[in-house]
Amino acid sequence: MDTQHSSIGGAPKAVVRRYRPSDEDQVIDVWARAAQAAHPFLDGEGRGARERKMREVYLVQADNWVAEVPGEGVVGLLGMLGVEIGGLFVAPEAQGRGIGRLLVEHAVALHGEVTLEVYERNLSARHFYELMGFRETGRRADEENGGLVLIALHRPHRTTC
């Protein structure tokens, strides 16, 4: 599946498509702003070494998809590491318009069952994932970021009758 479309409340259709290297600057901008809003408890989030790692590791090694809206450009990023959602970021101004839902549904369409980890302190993301049918399966300390707690979530494959 290369693209997926969605019209949200009469807004222009969002298209999910594979990430292209020419998207890098737009994706980094979306990621940085969304990550800073979601993770105010992480020093240097969206900048410096974390930005370098995003550019040099995650955008190269993950199976990345973007959500693009005509007239707005790239508004969302989905990074898949096998069946794990390694990252889901939606531009702050595009949140609440179904972009995150569209990207999660794309991940599920690709893989069926999906997993992810989310910071315990990221309450809005935890609520979003709960609404999307994810359930907690465990917790662990994130040593890279000062022992903050990460919560493992799982969304089972759903079959329809």
Q: Which residues contact 118 (CB under 8 A, 6 or more apart)?
A: 125, 126, 129, 150, 151, 153
Q: What is the pLDDT of residue 159?
A: 54
Q: What is the pLDDT of residue 145?
A: 75
Task: Determine contact, residues 67/75, Cβ cutoff 8 Å.
Answer: yes
Q: Using 50 as the pLDDT threshold, list the residues of the chain that sit under it.
A: 1, 5-9, 160-161
Residue 115 three-state SS: strand
Q: What is the pLDDT of residue 94?
A: 96
Phi, psi of 42 (to 5 degrees): -100, 120
Q: What is the pLDDT of residue 161?
A: 44
How far is 86 from 78, CA to CA, in rounded Å? Answer: 8
